[in-house]
Amino acid sequence: MQTPKRKYRFLLMALIGSLCLAASGAYAQDSSQAPMVKNLTQQQFGPVPGYPDCMRAAGLQGDPSKGPSLLLLRFKSGCTVPWHWHTPGEHLMLASGVGHAQMKGGKVVTLRSGAYAFLPGHNVHMFTCVSRCVLFLSSDGVFDTHYVDSSGKEISPAEALKKN
């Protein structure tokens, strides 16, 4: 039997998950797509060009190079995606682990399992996985990444990632 606190946490996580998936609904409207269910163990994770080697991704829906998409990301402990921004809005939901997110000029926010974050387009931010993280990332459009240095000047992925 679930305790009230545990039941509340489960309901909250289910609601947040539904909201995150609803946000990605813009590309789920294609009636030619068949229903799909995959467990975490069935996902095929691979490296993402222009991102740290300590991060892997599995595409769940859509093509991030063509429009809205939903990705499942896996980070090793200590993995950091340095300061960057994207043109579209980005929705994150942490499925497991602990991470730190920070918007430029803002405080570091600790994210734990079930946490949801919305990062508006063109807003500089960074993410660090404190302990092995799995998170869902939904993008509102073509997912581009623009790394910046401490002054906000755009830099190449190679330059941004060599500091890691």
pLDDT tens digits, one per residue of 2-15: 455 543 343 333 33
The CATH number that applies at residue 82 is 2.60.120.10
> How many structural domains are present in the chain?
1
In the predicted model, is pLDDT for residue 164 greater than 80? Answer: no
CB–CB of 38/23 below 8 Å?
no
Q: Phi and psi dihedrals of 81, rounded to 5?
A: -100, 110
**Which pLDDT does position 13 carry in this prediction?**
38
pLDDT tens digits, one per residue of 47-97: 999 999 999 999 999 999 999 999 999 999 999 999 999 999 999 999 999
- pTM for this structure? 0.77
**Which pLDDT does position 33 carry in this prediction?**
72
Alpha carbon separation from 6 to 15, 60, 67, 118, 126 (Å, rounded):
14, 28, 37, 25, 31
Structural domain that includes position 78: 4-29+37-161
